[in-house]
A and B are shown apart, each in its own frame.
Chain A
């Protein structure tokens, strides 16, 4: 190689230096890695995670699955009652997503920086509302509503409503922030009021995106709906809880299997619906 370098001067002539390590910058990135590593080590220490036993646990997991959860008790879920619960779950998810989407529209409008009626007051309030809906997990909502309204599907629907609203409001607000402001300005110049601008300037631009978000929200709400019943809010979750408490592991396996199948179906449907909507665009 040296003769090749000599062909055009090479580093002997001009003293060229290059190092990957650069004084402050590299130090920062090393520090970042060190912090990440420390957090992991500290967590393992603090939470008493037995690292040496993890591999053994994997083996035990296989054993547990094979001996206790297999074979799933398929007959148990091939039952009219259970089917009724599945329908209930679907209805809960459906209503929760629908109500959530209805309240999403004003929230997302108020929480979009470009269209909000008042940036100083309404905007932060709407943002905070959306954020709290999202921050509190759907199961906590379910527990709270159950404690207020008693067992049943209504608390489930309400929990899913807040969950869906939190989920959809963020996505939808982002979509509104991404619109072309040209038509909005044109309408403003004609003296249209806020509501008219929203209806004729903004809505046509985000309609397709909103449909996509709606379908996605339904999908997510359905997943959440499968477990809210666990805390007394109706649907399949209640079934699951009963069998978990009775340690009917083979039935639990069957129920989980049915959840997986249903979720896959709903995901396939929503993927199909979303691509159909995109095509219409």
Chain B
């Protein structure tokens, strides 16, 4: 059964603005590592943000874990977002907080307001955070402030934060484009390994086609909000790539 089923998704930022997504459909199944590729401005980021409604889609349906996301109330949406981890291009860490607090913030959906105020997280959350930080190789940096870390290390914090949620789906919004190529590969491999260990399907928006073909088993290619290609990585070829990137102005 599909974990995530997106049908005929449309989105625009303002009522009169241009349509960013023009009817996108796809399915993410368990153990998938699903890549979204396409030139800049194709709507990749918008698509990813529509899944957890950081951007509100205008029409279409998103079914996640058997529930329709687009019609959820605010409270239900927060519940649902707890099950969807997200990793960002610019890491989106709270720079002035310690690595530990940043990772623990992944549990906020389960934490009461009073506990949030005093940052009093339950013992098991702290243990879980330590285990994750150990796994991503940051155990020596637990008490450092997030802005003292390098880019690759910060993204590892981002990974740990997303996994802190025990997600049933991971959304990766260009997780490597702010990093240099070598670090990019390491981070991407780490994400892939951990997704496999924890059996979390991933939906990954990625600019680097080579990296996409190496890491992902399915690919959807967008161009100007329209699906140009959708299928297994093996079916991708130069010609189709050329079509997807035909409009890239460079």
Contact = CB atoms under 8 A, between A and B. Distances in A.
| Direct A–B touching, Cβ under 8 Å | yes
B198 A11 contact: no
B119 interface: yes
Interface in A1-29: 1, 4-5, 7-11, 14, 16-18, 20, 22
Interface string A159-203: 000000000000000000000000000000000000000000000
Nearest to B101: A20
Which size class do B's interface residues fall under? 10 to 19
Contacts of A14: 134
B130 interface: yes
Contact of B135 (A1, A8, A20): A8
B126 interface: yes
Given A7-B198, A8-B197, A20 B131 contact: no
Contact of B131 (A9, A17, A22): A9
Given A1-B166, A8-B135, A16 B198 contact: no
A16 B139 contact: yes
A18 B135 CA distance: 16
A18 B100 CA distance: 9
B24 to A, nearest CB: 31
B131 A16 contact: yes
Interface string B128-164: 1111001100010011000000000000000000000
Contacts of A7: 197-198
A9 B124 CA distance: 15
Which of B100, B119, B126 has the most chain A CB within a 10 Å cutoff? B126
A18 B142 contact: yes
B127 interface: yes
A5 B120 CA distance: 21
Nearest to A19: B126
The prevalent SS among residues of A at the interface is loop
B98 to A, nearest CB: 10
A11 B127 contact: yes
A16 B166 CA distance: 20
A1 B134 contact: no
A16 B134 CA distance: 9
Nearest to A22: B143
A83 to B, nearest CB: 48
A162 B135 CA distance: 64
Given A16-B134, A18-B100, A20-B119, A1 B128 contact: yes
A7 B143 CA distance: 25
Contacts of A22: 143
Contacts of B130: 11, 16-18
A96 B133 CA distance: 62
A16 B242 CA distance: 50
Contacts of A16: 127, 130-131, 134, 139
Contacts of B119: 20
A1 B124 contact: yes
Nearest to B136: A8
28 contacts: A1-B166, A4-B128, A4-B166, A4-B198, A5-B128, A5-B131, A7-B197, A7-B198, A8-B131, A8-B197, A9-B131, A9-B134, A9-B135, A10-B131, A11-B130, A11-B131, A14-B134, A16-B130, A16-B131, A16-B134, A16-B139, A18-B100, A18-B126, A18-B130, A18-B142, A20-B119, A20-B120, A22-B143
Closest 10 pairs between A and B when the two form their complex, measured CB to CB: A16-B130, A8-B135, A11-B127, A5-B131, A7-B197, A10-B131, A11-B131, A18-B130, A18-B126, A11-B130
Given A14-B134, A18-B100, A18-B142, 11 more contacts: A4-B198, A5-B127, A5-B128, A8-B135, A8-B197, A9-B135, A16-B127, A16-B134, A17-B130, A18-B130, A22-B143
